[in-house]
Amino acid sequence: MAVAQGEQPREHREAAVLLADAAARARTGAGGLVLLRGATGTGRTTVLEAAAEAAAAHGMRVLRARCAPADAAVPFAAVFQLLGGVPGFDAADTEREQGAVLQRALDARAEQSPLLVAVDDVHLADAPSYRWLVEYARHVDRLALPILLAVTERSQYDVELPAPGFTHTLSPALVGTHTLAPLTPESAAALVRADFPRVTASWAEDCVRAGAGSPLLLRALLDDLRASGEPASVPESCAALYPGAYPAAVSWWLDSAGPGTAEVARVLAVLDEGWDHKGPSRTGRTHPDLDEVRGSFDGSDERWERSAPEFDRVPEGLGALLAELAGADPARVVGWLTAMTGLGLLRPDGHGRPRYGHPLLRDAVLTGVPVSRRRAAHRTAAETLLHRGAPVEPVARQLLLADPVYAPWASTVLQDAASFALRDDRAEDAVAFLRRALDEPLPDERRQRLLTELGSLEVADRTSSAGIPRLTEALRLPGTPQDRVRAAIALGTALAGRGRPRAAVDVLRSVGEQLADRPELAATLQSASALLSDQDQTVRREVYRELCDTAENAPELLGPATRAILVRYAATAGLTSAAEAMHRVRALLAEPADPLTEPFLLGTAAALAQWADELDEADRLVERGLAGQRPGLLHPMHQALLSTRDDIAAARGEFGRLPAEPPVLPVTGPSNAHAHILLALVETGRAAEAQRLADGFDLREAPDSWELNRFLYARGVQRAAAGDPAGALHDFMECGRRQSAREVVSPVVTPWRSAAAECWFTLGNPKEALALAEEELRLAREWATPRTVGRALRTLGSVTGGRRGLELTEEAVRLLRDAPAATEPELAAALLAQGRLLTAAGERGRARECLREAAERAERLGALRLRELAEEALREGGARRPALVRTGSGSLTGSELRIARLAADGRTNTEIAGLLHLARRTVETHLTSAYKKLGIRRRGELREALSAD
């Protein structure tokens, strides 16, 4: 259907004006030649047809010819389309004579009426017609005939060298030439909106990218989408299109470009498939053996930037690769890439590689290419990249889409690529590489290691059920003793994480029995068993009885890590002091440790150091333990170290360092992280969020574990803060019952007795409150750290009351003031308790001092609940609302101040998040709050604002 000029895309209107002006001159007897050039699909035919209709409407006679490859063997086929049969033509003997006959015939028609001679795709005309049309253009100009010769010609950069153009032998003065430009994104979007006015901006943008600047492709796509009833999204596969106008248009485009260009286009589509992944590598690590050959891709000596995660950052490198794969001229291929990018068919990605504008366009280019050929092309691409010295990841990505290579290099490349992906925190990519590596022949030992790593990653991905079967298979395969231990630990960790600690311990015990001649490895399995048994109180008691019996009867069978775990057991059972525990564990840290055992030793030592208020040392041990963890390999100490890191942050009152959101873990119940987040929400005054998190678990269905006990305690705190002491007491007592069943009695783990004592006191049962508080103080003095003792003294003082209670709280404050900064949250709470008792004793002046200090310390910590309690106590004591410092650096919480200082030093939000193990959103929230308190508006003012105080 013809398109009126007002409906034409903007890119066509200038050509339409040129043709209209030339037609007007022809009608006055001043004819000439207009050449309309453009790439395939830019709308040459559409513009020519519109011009023909306009000319006919103005009284011109229109003669049409559309040239095609099939007519190339028929002399003057194009001219006969214009003139039909011409008398006297058959009598002419030579091409010159035949041309003269045809010229006179056309001249005679021009005498009857002005003519528009429209010849479409003149580059496809048979040779005699082509030569005749060129000569006739000269003839029209020479005689000033009322004839407009309007010719369209394909003009596009192809891999094959082009033939000379139609006007090659004509003077530029004889020709009005216009080259059609591809559609701009704005013009293309307008065409989409004309057909689909209600679609979203992203839907329209997908159409624009798939249309690739070509009216032909865009209109074909819109026809298909219209027939599909306006699908919710633009598909990425041609199989979803009906009736298939779009892939047919792309196929026609490829045919028009010639076999050489079509082959390069298809090879590029094959490579593009291999590049299609979730995101670029952040670190830019490359294969360590390839540093010497980085410049070989484009034949230059220039070293590539180390930040480049892929090698194809310059078109020449890609051009040389495409040329080699397609058997084409490299210079022509580079030119084609540049030209197609200019047209909009290709778009550079973040690595500078020209890629198809939309996956649907790439799929259409590959339509008709057999899967076997595509997979073979991916293998060829992988081999070529490897021989060119490419980094492993681009090679591996091609292998993902290729059939098995059955050569050792393939599995090596895939496993190396998986390692680099893991270092960049791209577990999904690593899984894809390892699964593909399993398709290659591997010795049993390598297959066993691969299955262990892949199974570990799949267990971490809760959407996959393949992890445990893979780890089970790994354990059945022969391997080195060390690899068997790694597989057993990974499988045990997976089973315990899925609520099957008994099965986990049985697996570890079975492998340990098989390694009786390797006591250091058997000791590693003992340590893993102890850690994993924490998920079930019955299993835990059994495991620790065995360990204690071994320690008494055959201590030489226990390694340093297992002995450290027994120190931890004694600490939780209330059988040792913090000083003694740290003395023993430091001695164990000084002993030589097997690499497989060291994580257990470091993690256990970190937990003890955190309980002992040695928080800086605990931090160092956690970071050392995490640094030694092997990425992607399941290990029970990994999560234990992360939990200890959360415990450290909570002990310091650094609520901003806790996870911004509850983690997704392979468990059916709440985790230690959930407990800390719940406590942080309560302390920072976010009561509604705390309520939602507390109500988000059905604890009746949760498996027994130490983490469930932590969450019970946290939910008790939330309920108490919400004014439900009875509900809180139930949670605290249930936590205590479960802890006692595990032989965990020390308040260093969970101070449930103190919390329950406060609830009993609130509910009017001081006898029960005193009994629990006194028992808590006794156990706290066994461990003998300021944090535990200070907390127990404060609670006992509060429930005792009177002069004796005041003495106890004053002792708690003195103890905590002299302690490390780790006791800051407990000091604020002790000051609040002391202030309340002083108010009750009538010592309002001293009470106000204590309560104001408590409020100020709580403000610095960001503990809004505690601050509000202190302010409420001040009001009850007759004091005015305290004038707390709410601006300046003194008003910042500890987390806000730490983040602000890092930002002032030039660190980005992402870097700060990485350094402090926070979510980036948490960093942004703290910085926004810091800006408000400091009275500034931008990052550049931080340094001055922080130094002003």
Residues 256, 217 contacting (CB under 8 angstroms): no
Tokens in use for 737?
Answer: 């019952």
Instruction: Please state, rounded to an integer, the average pLDDT across all residues of the chain.
Output: 89
- Report the percent of the chain where pLDDT is more than 90: 73
Tens of pLDDT along 742-800?
999 999 999 999 999 999 999 999 999 999 999 999 999 999 999 999 999 999 999 99
Nearest 10 degrees: Cα torsion 133, 136, 141, 144: -130
Residues 735, 713 contacting (CB under 8 angstroms): yes
Tens of pLDDT along 309-345?
333 343 467 888 899 999 999 999 999 999 999 999 9
Give me the mean pLDDT over the 397-421 stretch. 96
Task: Report the largest interatomic distance among the alpha carbons of the chain, rounded to a whole angstrom.
Answer: 135
**Torsions phi, psi for 120 (to 5 deg):** -95, 140
pLDDT at 199 over 80: yes
How far is Cα 942 from Cα 93, in angstroms, rounded to an integer? Answer: 93
pLDDT at 887 over 60: no
Q: Where are the alpha helices (DSSP H) in 555-671?
A: 560-572, 578-589, 598-611, 615-627, 636-652
If DSSP codes are grouped into helix, strand and coil, which group holds residue 544?
helix
Give the per-residue pLDDT at 10: 86
Tens of pLDDT along 510-558?
999 999 899 889 999 999 999 999 888 899 999 999 999 999 999 988 9
Residues 772, 753 contacting (CB under 8 angstroms): yes
**Would you put residue 352 in left (φ > 0), alpha (ψ -120 to 50) or beta?**
left
Give the per-residue pLDDT at 904: 86
Give the per-residue pLDDT at 339: 93
User: Which residues in 405-419 are b (16+ Cβ under 10 Å) and which e?
Assistant: beeeebbebbbbbbb
How far is Cα 430 from Cα 317, in angstroms, rounded to an integer? Answer: 26
Between residues 623 and 921, the one the model is more confident about: 623
Residues 324, 264 contacting (CB under 8 angstroms): no
Residue 919 vs residues 26, 650, 683, 916: alpha-carbon distances, Å: 72, 16, 19, 9
Other CB atoms within 10 Å distance of the CB of residue 263: 18
Between residues 884 and 474, the one the model is more confident about: 474
Helix (H) or strand (E) holding 718: helix 706-721
Give the per-residue pLDDT at 238: 95
DSSP one-letter code for 344: T
Query: Which residue(s) pair with 148 in the sheet?
Result: 32, 116
How far is Cα 502 from Cα 478, in angstroms, rounded to an integer? Answer: 25
Tens of pLDDT along 838-849?
999 999 999 999
Give me the mean pLDDT over the 444-451 stretch. 96
Concatenated DSSP letters for 611-626?
HTT-HHHHHHHHHHHH
Other CB atoms within 10 Å distance of the CB of residue 475: 23
How far is Cα 231 from Cα 446, in angstroms, rounded to an integer? Answer: 47
Give the per-residue pLDDT at 881: 55
Q: Which residues contact 826 (CB under 8 A, 6 or more apart)?
A: 786, 787, 790, 791, 794, 812, 816
Give the per-residue pLDDT at 308: 32
pLDDT at 721 over 80: yes
User: Which residues in 172-207 are b (16+ Cβ under 10 Å) and which e?
Assistant: eebbbbbebbbbeeebbbebbeeebeebeeebbbbb
Give the per-residue pLDDT at 923: 78
Residue 315 vs residues 324, 332, 355: alpha-carbon distances, Å: 14, 12, 11
Tens of pLDDT along 636-675?
999 899 999 999 988 888 876 665 555 554 456 898 989 9
Other CB atoms within 10 Å distance of the CB of residue 140: 25
How far is Cα 153 from Cα 761, in angstroms, rounded to an integer? Answer: 95
Q: Flag the least confident range among 123-132, 269-278, 579-588, 864-873.
A: 269-278
HEC states along 51-117? HHHHHHHCCCEEEEEECCHHHCCCCCHHHHHHHCCCCCCCCCCCHHHHHHHHHHHHHHHHHHCCEEE
Tokens in use for 660?
Answer: 């911004």
Tell whether omega for the bond before 243 is within 30 degrees of 0, i.e. cis: yes
How far is Cα 46 from Cα 48, in angstroms, rounded to an integer? Answer: 5
pLDDT at 294 over 70: no
Residues 452, 474 contacting (CB under 8 angstroms): yes
Residue 793 vs residues 133, 799, 813: alpha-carbon distances, Å: 107, 10, 9
Q: Where are the alpha helices (DSSP H) in 311-387?
A: 315-326, 330-343, 359-366, 371-387
Give the per-residue pLDDT at 313: 40
Tokens in use for 376?
Answer: 């073979």
Other CB atoms within 10 Å distance of the CB of residue 300: 12
Give me the mean pLDDT over the 863-874 stretch. 92
pLDDT band at 9 (very low <50, low <70, confident <90, very high): confident
How far is Cα 34 from Cα 47, in angstroms, rounded to an integer? Answer: 12
The pTM score is 0.76
Pairing of strands 346-348, 175-179: unpaired
